[in-house]
Structure 1
Amino acid sequence: MRRSSSNRNNSTCAASVKFISKLNISPEDDTLIPLSPQTTTTSSLVQDAAVITERERAESRPSLKTSEDAMIILLDPWMDDSSIEVLLNQIASTVISFRSADDCTNYISGIQTENIFLIISSSLNETIIPFAVRQPQVVSIYVLFTGSNEWTCDFSITKDDWPKKLSSIFYSNNRLITRLASDIELWSKRPMSMSFLKEAADEQQAAQDINREKSSFMWYQVLLEILLRMPANSAIAKSELIEECRKIYTDNIIEQEKITEFERNYTPDRAIWWYTRDSFFFRLLNKALRIKDIDVIFKFRLIIKDLHNQLKRLHSDYLRMLSESNNVNDFITVYRGQIISQQEFYRFKNNIGGFVSINSFISTSVRLELATIFAVGDRSHFGESVIFKIIIDLKIRTKPFASISHQSAFVDEDEILLSMGTVFRVDSIEMNNENNFWYITLSVGEQDDPQLKELTDHLKQEVGRVTDNLTLGNYLGDIGDYERAARYYAMPQDLPPDQIDLGTLHNNIGWLYNCKGNYRAAITNYEKALEIQQQQLPSNHIDLAATYNNIGMVYYEQDDCEAALVNLQKSLDIKQRGDLPLNNESIAITLNNIGLVYHKTGAYEKAFETYNEVLKLQKCLPETHYNLATTYTNIGAVHYHQGNYPDALVNYEKALSIRTNALHSTHPDIAKTHVNIGLAQETRGNYYEALQSYKLALEIQKNVLPEDHIDIGTTYSRLGTVYNRRREYDLALENQEKALEIYSKSLAPKHPYIATVYNNMGLVYENQGDNVKALESYEKALELYLKTVSPTHPSLAKIYDNIGRLSEQKGDYEKASMSFMTAHDISVKHLPSNHQDIKLYQMHSEIVRRKAEAALSLASPLTVNKTLTQDTKRTRKCRCCCRWTISFSRE
């Protein structure tokens, strides 16, 4: 994952050479526009990247105007004054008016999210309120008095239940608007952007859940690091931010005026003032952080960076002020009052002693009485009223905090602002019975989980000193978000055109095509990158090594192992030259890939030697580093093919632990690891465990990969083999046919993966007693394999054994003998001398030799065939030639 960097002009982008974790691309997107280095421009290259994801972007463009926004529904049959609707539009993004009670209730019944603030005429209270209080979609109810009669409400529901949603009766529009605006503001602040992490797992928490927590925890930390170090062209960033905000507040006159004011008057030293003002900034940024809308977070990169930098400057001033005021304490205590959801409250309660990262800027006050105002009120149905008591170690240096009273839009709140991504320890939770709210005590200090801190620090280091759109695209690709990665590669960059590294950009676009399994387009871009780099860089530049590495891996995927080794060796030669700084991790990446080529050609001992060299070079990495997962996976695959299944399983499980720790839970590489574990379990006879692993892999793949992706085909094929072993033959054939359909669409007609499926289908037919179809399938598999792999490739041994077994049953002893002998000779070439397959093929050869001799001495062929069939049933062992799923190293 190490980024190679070129240093022309001292401001070039960090190069990124990715490992192959493919996503499919539709046929109409296959063709790229050829570009020459003399005429290549940023805009044309942007079009190149946009090919990948334009349709997805049009269909799934994220927006902050989502179902989580407050919706106001106004029901009044006699509403003639439209002025109230104008006012309501200023405090909610969606306002809908009804005159018919039936239409209103039908509409509410069809809404799924809990975001409705309902205003009803007092004349309809007995009709609507009994319905509305029972609807989870309705957050709060407001009765607008519209007549002279006394308001009454009589329906069969206890008073303890219905008043929680019934806010009040209002006799004027202004009072209603004031209360409604306050409630929506309080409600919108209720959800927080948080990531939790237990300091130590309890016995009931699954390791996978812990790893998922760590992955989410790091997501914001690494993203923030990228955004803060990104060189911002403030004009471009400001323009994008304004455009986004205007789209969201299209119909809101007040916010549009504020956006115009921001456009005219914003300066970096006023970032805090704008953030604390009651405006679009606070609401949109916090919501984007909460729902992980990275596209909108990116649009706010200017204000995030300006806020952080201004807070850093104020932090130094604040500490100096405390020192000059003779403050002798090492800590300060601040407070924050608010309402949080029940779910968030229980997460705090269940994480006492653990950590929480608040993934937004946090406004607090040194005045407890001020925090109490925000926590106590009559809106208990919104959630739990809490006061956060935050104890801050003044020696902390990881995240800035400072008093912002002189910069805030609210100068009288004695406000202390903490930076985005601050990590707290959850110390205690206590109930304040007098005021009916909870005290949640948090502390801020240098106390991060050591393992998490080690990995996070390493990831930050890998981001590099200079970041830009490419870096963000790299990060998204690393967590499996390939569509968004393409989007950020395609964006106009904040750097001037003469500082954009076109070679790197081509390399990254090539990697995306590689991920999608479009090797022709990938090699086109890699070769274009190489052409540009050869014109602009010295022959020993590390970026050339990275590009040769990627080209080699495309040839590897296309089963051209000779070309793969040539390019990988070029990469390794550049990296190991004496005139370059020794980079063990970068060398390890290329060595790992060379090991893969040896593996694919059946040179297992060479593969082992290479992987052991890799492990020596990776000693400097954290135990949870992603590249170690790649090495463990590849070592596991060699163990598997040598028959050391327990050792294979151990290495696969090490890889899974690392990947679930470092990646999102739905990352395709996690699915691949589950397939590997299933394969090892299946071979050991643990069919149920294997089935569960394959199903888990398929569930992940279906959620994140196109339906014709070859990895899904592989998982279907594995499911087919385990169903065959469980004697569920119909399901076995069904899954193999699904695999064949996907492979036929996505791969070349003679690809070895297709041969694998034919072999596996042959096993099912044989178990069903249809030896004719079985033999046809085995021979088809052999034919396809011989077109693409060496005649002594280790995968061929099992196919020859399968053919030999059925030939023996037919009485064709000559063909059976040749098949068994070929299987034996291939195995001896690649497997340890004590491997069970060598013994099996030798036994089969001996049995068929004896039967051939016996047949010559017998007068009745019928007797011979009957005897042979009985002996074959006793010695028969069902074998499977299967595609292994291994990992590819990246830079």
Structure 2
Amino acid sequence: MSSELSMTEKMLPASSFTSTSIRPSYYIREPNFGKYDNIEDITVVWLDSHSNVSLDCFDMKIRLRYLINHLLTFHSISTCLEYMNSDIEYEKVFFIVSGSDSEIILPEIHLSPKIHFNYIFCNDKEKYENLSQTYSKIRGIFNDKDSLLKNVTQKSLRDLSNESARFMWFQMLIEILIKMEHTDEAKSDLIEICRKQYKNDLVQSKRIDEFEKTYTADKAASWYTRDSFVYRLLNKALRTENIDIIYKFRSFIADLHQQLSVLQSTEPISTDEFLYRGQKLPIEELQYLQKNINGYLSMNTFVSFSRSSQAALLFAGKGEDRPQLESVLFQTEVNDGLAIFANIENVSYYKDEGEFLFTIGSVFRIADIEHIGNIIWVITLVIDTNANEDVEKLSKYLKKYYTGECSLLKIAEILFQIGEYDRAEHYCKLCNEQLHVDHQDRCRLNLLFGDIFRAGKGDFQAAEQFYVSALKLAQDSSLRASVLAGLGRLEDETGKYEAALTHLTESFDLNLKEHPNTTNEIVAKVYADIALVYRHKLDFTKSLEYYNQSLEINLQLLPDLHPSLANLYNNIAYLNTVLGKYDEAMKSYETSLKIQLKSLPKTHPDIATVYNNMAILHECNHDSQLAMEMFCKSLELFSAVLPSDHPTIATLYHNIGTSFHEIKNYPKAITHLEKALDLRKKILPLTHLHIAESYESLAYSYYGVYDYQKTLDFCNMALEIDPTRAALHECIGETRSKQHDYDGALVAFRKAIDLCNPLMMKDNRLLARIHFSMAQVLLTQEKLDEALECYKTVSLVPLSYADQDTLAVANMHLADIYTYKKQFRLAIESYKKCLDYNSECVPQVEMYNNLAANYFEVGQEEADEEYYRKALEIRKKILNVFPLDDQDLGITYSIIGTIYYKLNEYDLCLEHKEKARDHLLKNVSMNNDILTNICESIASFYELRGEMEKAIENGELLLKLQMDKFDSENPKNLDILANLCNNLGSLYHQVQNIEKAIECVEQAVTFERIAKISNPELYDNNFEILQSQVITCGNLAALYEEAEATEKQIIMLNRCLEIYSKLVLHSQQKTDLALASMAEIFKMLGGCYSKLDDHHMAFKSYQQALYFFIQLGSNNETMSNEYKENLENAKMKMNNKS
């Protein structure tokens, strides 16, 4: 039936996609924070397996000496992969790879958090451009070193308009490090890591010894300005934001910052004074600054300026490093109240440079950029504060909590908040080592440990141990409430929903005792936690109620860019998606993402969560391509911060797999769903609903690849966990149907119907879908009345109990059944009802097509022109109302042509058939079969009308279409081609183009010969095939006669004789026809030989002709005399010649 849907199209519950919630994992990883083989800078890795890159790399190292200190080259993909997958830890890797190698290695390393940027260096840029769409870390594709070198740069300036969120968190970490109490251990940590870095450098080793013996806080500026290990390592750690190395420098950073503060307060600076800084800046950074006049930036490190513009110009140069680097002079007017900086001339290692030093992260506004003398760029900066007022409000709010009390625990909390889970755990361990066994912060420390293992690692066993320890240590109700909330979140994520609600309620009650006013942030958080539990319990209405309560409170208390608001908008958006409110959901997602991109680092897991949930929304809107992009983006972000076997990674694999299922790429769906299942089985209880969800989705995808046994296996495994899933029984029913176990299918369908809640199922199409599937099975069993009842059950549901979409679909299927039973009038009524509902759930064009087809059938049954006219009217409406592509236009015009044919309006028939042909020719590969039928009809029309040139034109097109879909493995196709060539030859003969006629029929003979070679037994024994071959050879022989090609004519006539001999041998009942034909062919052969004066062969041919005529036993005296006369004449000529 035209509107029949496949099971895989119909059957994919909305629950198949999973919103990202951190799920349990037994993953434990111990990062080695003591191992830093290359802490001085970024690492550049260069791979080209097809040539020696040493010279190129050497040249690059020289030209990028201001940047690259650690460059590695590889000529083997396997060796490179082995090194990249080793446990050597990099902060940032810039990976340069040849074009051909990129296609092999990028899929293996792209998601690695070590890789910061990828660069492709090749000869053919266009060939590899598509890789940029697949791999987001590709920074560029280059075919010359200059372009490559310009792009392999690390920013020394931070653009605050785009990176204000990360700047804010980084500055808070620096502020805590500066304010922390520092012991001698801090200096020892610094010396230890410096010794390791410079163990083979005698000069720097001596300076480290000197530092260890002589350093005091008042010498910080002196050591920083000295050309030594301190400046090199600290600046590069700050530039790459390597918090672990920065932590080793914590006491030095605090000393230098404090020294600048003291100097600033004791040695005031004139406010009308200008300071200068000379620098060579990568061209792309300069261009970016030019586009952002009045934008804001900060320097990543401590930054020095000078009173002397001439001294600064020495560092800027005179443009000698173009085109890679431009000479730049920064100038700024002193403003003594907005930044910490000081004149360090008296404390610097070099006393005569007039140097001023700004502390880390000083903010400047770009006032002006001017090019002087085509040599130097002068950039005027204004000392300012944070550019973004909303971010500044958030920063002040967060600092009240994070920087009020400065400790290792606060550093760990910030790292946890920005998704740096491994580092957060590391600093918790350091804190654990330093805290006294009964220190008051031990409860908070264990609570944070629990949060890290729950949310960051998915190790729920470890998380529970820490929460229990924290609960034992909680000495006040506020801390106890926080720990109980943590336990509640843990139980929610392991599916223990009632226990979760119990602990969250306890937390809520304790908070109320501590803070009777319910308008507080803690109460809002508990509301959000309770909402999440109800969401997982599928009570979406109650969940949304709690989320809205939480949002209402937080909007009163929090800054506009607080991440908690983003999380609430995200969760509310997800619920609106589930409830079908897609527009509201999208608005909330956009609000959430807008807040996150301004308040969180761009790789934060919360951003990845929103991308995942937006992908689910795009799937609901049937935009699978955009959904796939969002899922992959989410997976990329999560993979950068989470362990590879984290439950969230499993969720993403599941969602990507379900997305592949949506676009019917079932093999890829299965691959991703099985990855998800493997991870979930490692990290979840085997009875968890998410494992049932994986089984269910795998069942659908295996159905898509026709592996029905695996479909049933996965359905049954899912039902063992959750026997109440009606859709699974439906899937079993569909599968049993495919296995021809129709009774088993009906049993499963009836179970599915029993599990459907009548109060709920009238709101969706599941019940209608099951009845439809039952009807299909009943039709197969020829139980037509029962099949009809299934659809009537749905179609008769009143609008007060079911939405119009459900009724429209039911009437569509009911009409299909009537069409199947050839009850066309009843089908017409059902299609009209279906269309009256004006539902978006049914394909409008298809419904009108089916309605028109039924009118046409009634017209044929009753020879009633009125019904043909109604069919014609609907087809014209389809053309005028609906936007159709060329294929649909072509099909519609063709059907209209057929209707005009039935109405005996042949000119209109021909006109519409030609329109159909012209539209379908725009995509021949999709429309070949339809086109061949149309062109055949058009050619026949023109032949009947005597318009041979047009008949030939369409005949040639018809032959080309058949040639395009030629299948050498199917001899029947060769017969079709031979027949077309014969017909085309006939058309050319009628216009006296003998040469083209011969060419066509010769091609027909060739096709028949090839067909015989492919299946000689068939072609030597089938009467119809042999007869067709005789006709072709006879036609060609006749054409050769007209062309006076006598020798070729003889060859064809002999071929005819060869075929007829087989006809006589294999078809005794048709012997007389064969004998008569052979007699006639020998007579024609005699005439051919006579023309060639070969009277001996002429005599033999006439002799054979007479023999077969006599064998025929004919009483036709005239023909007998003719055969005898030919023989005598040939004999006479033969004797005369001899």
Same fold (TM over 0.5): yes
Alignment of 1:804-883 (within 5 A): 810=742, 813=746, 815-825=748-758, 827=760, 838-841=763-766, 843=768, 874=813
- Is the contact between residue 800 and residue 822 of structure 1 (CA under 8 Å) also seen in structure 2? no
Q: Distance in 2 between matches of 1:108 and 1:848?
A: 69
Deviations, residues 442-494 of structure 1 (Å, cap 9, x unaligned): 11124622122223223323314112222212222222222222221122579
- Is the contact between residue 222 and residue 349 of structure 2 (CA under 8 Å) also seen in structure 1? yes
Shift of 1:196: 0.4
1:549 correspondence with 2:485: yes
- Is the contact between residue 494 and residue 684 of structure 2 (CA under 8 Å) also seen in structure 1? no
Shift of 1:225: 2.2
- Is the contact between residue 612 and residue 652 of structure 2 (CA under 8 Å) also seen in structure 1? yes
- Is the contact between residue 276 and residue 308 of structure 2 (CA under 8 Å) also seen in structure 1? yes
1:390 correspondence with 2:345: no
Q: Distance in 2 between matches of 1:500 and 1:274?
A: 38
1:114 correspondence with 2:61: yes
- Is the contact between residue 432 and residue 445 of structure 2 (CA under 8 Å) also seen in structure 1? no
1:299 correspondence with 2:236: no
Paired letter, 1:411? K
The corresponding residue for 2:522 is 586
Paired letter, 1:838? D
The corresponding residue for 1:15 is none
Shift in alpha-carbon separation, 1:623–1:860, aligned structure 2, 3 A: closer
Q: Distance in 2 between matches of 1:374 and 1:111?
A: 25
The corresponding residue for 2:904 is none
Shift of 1:576: 1.3
Q: Distance in 2 between matches of 1:432 and 1:24?
A: 61
Q: Please state whether the residue corresponding to 1:428 is helix, strand or coil.
A: strand
Q: Please state whether the residue corresponding to 2:259 is helix, strand or coil.
A: helix
The corresponding residue for 1:430 is 370
Paired letter, 2:175? E
Q: Distance in 2 between matches of 1:484 and 1:446?
A: 29
The corresponding residue for 2:507 is 571
1:485 correspondence with 2:424: yes
Alignment of 1:272-311 (within 5 A): 272-311=221-260
Shift of 1:610: 1.0
Q: Please state whether the residue corresponding to 1:393 is helix, strand or coil.
A: coil
Alignment of 1:736-815 (within 5 A): 736-768=673-705, 773-786=710-723, 796=725, 798-799=727-728, 802=731, 810=742, 813=746, 815=748
How many residues of Structure 1 are paired with residues of Structure 2 in the alignment? 682
Alignment of 1:715-734 (within 5 A): 715-734=652-671
Shift in alpha-carbon separation, 1:343–1:219, aligned structure 2, 3 A: farther
Q: Please state whether the residue corresponding to 2:645 is helix, strand or coil.
A: coil
Deviations, residues 134-167 of structure 1 (Å, cap 9, x unaligned): xx99xxxxxxxxxxxxxxxxxxxxxxxxxxxxxx
- Aligned pair partner of 1:599 in 531, 535, 547: 535
1:317 correspondence with 2:258: no
Shift in alpha-carbon separation, 1:867–1:20, aligned structure 2, 3 A: closer
Gaps of 5+ in 2: 1-19, 45-51, 66-94, 97-152, 793-809, 817-838, 842-1138
1:688 correspondence with 2:625: yes
Q: Please state whether the residue corresponding to 2:529 is helix, strand or coil.
A: helix
Shift of 1:295: 1.0
Q: Please state whether the residue corresponding to 1:491 is helix, strand or coil.
A: helix
The corresponding residue for 1:474 is 413
Shift of 1:315: 1.7
- Is the contact between residue 336 and residue 388 of structure 1 (CA under 8 Å) also seen in structure 2? yes
Alignment of 1:203-214 (within 5 A): 210=162, 213-214=163-164
Alignment of 1:4-43 (within 5 A): 21=22, 26=27, 29=28
Alignment of 1:457-536 (within 5 A): 457-491=396-430, 497=436, 499=439, 501-514=441-454, 515-533=456-474
- Is the contact between residue 729 and residue 748 of structure 2 (CA under 8 Å) also seen in structure 1? no
The corresponding residue for 2:381 is 442
Shift of 1:581: 8.2
Shift of 1:496: 6.0
Q: Distance in 2 between matches of 1:214 and 1:616?
A: 27
Deviations, residues 25-63 of structure 1 (Å, cap 9, x unaligned): 54xx4xxxxxxxxxxxxxxxxxxxxxx424x546x6464
Q: Please state whether the residue corresponding to 1:838 is helix, strand or coil.
A: coil
Q: Distance in 2 between matches of 1:709 and 1:447?
A: 37
- Is the contact between residue 62 and residue 293 of structure 1 (CA under 8 Å) also seen in structure 2? no
Shift in alpha-carbon separation, 1:580–1:281, aligned structure 2, 3 A: farther
- Is the contact between residue 355 and residue 424 of structure 1 (CA under 8 Å) also seen in structure 2? yes
Paired letter, 1:393? N
Shift in alpha-carbon separation, 1:242–1:24, aligned structure 2, 3 A: farther
Shift of 1:524: 0.9
Paired letter, 1:586? I
Q: Distance in 1 between matches of 2:353 and 2:756?
A: 81
Paired letter, 2:521? E
The corresponding residue for 1:642 is 579
- Is the contact between residue 821 and residue 845 of structure 1 (CA under 8 Å) also seen in structure 2? no
- Aligned pair partner of 2:548 in 596, 601, 612: 612
Paired letter, 1:501? D
Gaps of 5+ in 1: 1-18, 30-51, 70-104, 119-135, 138-189, 199-209, 829-836, 880-891
Shift of 1:582: 6.9
The corresponding residue for 1:163 is none
Alignment of 1:402-413 (within 5 A): 402-413=342-353
The corresponding residue for 2:952 is none
- Is the contact between residue 375 and residue 385 of structure 1 (CA under 8 Å) also seen in structure 2? yes
Shift in alpha-carbon separation, 1:524–1:111, aligned structure 2, 3 A: farther
Q: Distance in 1 between matches of 2:396 and 2:607?
A: 23
- Is the contact between residue 366 and residue 382 of structure 2 (CA under 8 Å) also seen in structure 1? yes
Paired letter, 2:165? S
Q: Distance in 1 between matches of 2:525 and 2:236?
A: 39
The corresponding residue for 1:164 is none
Larger radius of gyration: 2
Deviations, residues 152-183 of structure 1 (Å, cap 9, x unaligned): xxxxxxxxxxxxxxxxxxxxxxxxxxxxxxxx
Paired letter, 1:64? I
1:221 correspondence with 2:188: no
Shift of 1:656: 2.4
- Is the contact between residue 25 and residue 458 of structure 2 (CA under 8 Å) also seen in structure 1? yes
Shift in alpha-carbon separation, 1:825–1:803, aligned structure 2, 3 A: farther
- Aligned pair partner of 2:213 in 256, 264, 271: 264
Q: Distance in 1 between matches of 2:592 and 2:735?
A: 39
Q: Distance in 1 between matches of 2:63 and 2:317?
A: 22
Percent of aligned positions that are identical: 29
Shift in alpha-carbon separation, 1:826–1:365, aligned structure 2, 3 A: farther
Worse overlay, 288-297 or 726-735: 726-735
The corresponding residue for 2:289 is 348
Paired letter, 1:332? E
Paired letter, 1:648? A
Q: Distance in 2 between matches of 1:107 and 1:723?
A: 43
Paired letter, 1:457? K
Shift in alpha-carbon separation, 1:753–1:505, aligned structure 2, 3 A: same
Shift in alpha-carbon separation, 1:461–1:801, aligned structure 2, 3 A: farther
Worse overlay, 860-869 or 689-698: 860-869
The corresponding residue for 1:653 is 590
Q: Please state whether the residue corresponding to 1:440 is helix, strand or coil.
A: strand
Q: Distance in 1 between matches of 2:543 and 2:24?
A: 27
Q: Please state whether the residue corresponding to 1:702 is helix, strand or coil.
A: helix
When normalised by structure 1's length, the TM-score is: 0.69
- Is the contact between residue 319 and residue 326 of structure 2 (CA under 8 Å) also seen in structure 1? no
Paired letter, 2:39? L
When normalised by structure 2's length, the TM-score is: 0.55
Deviations, residues 280-332 of structure 1 (Å, cap 9, x unaligned): 2222111111122211111111111121122122222233xx5xxxx6xx543
- Is the contact between residue 24 and residue 684 of structure 2 (CA under 8 Å) also seen in structure 1? no
Q: Distance in 2 between matches of 1:808 and 1:838?
A: 27
Q: Distance in 2 between matches of 1:191 and 1:25?
A: 37
The corresponding residue for 2:601 is 664
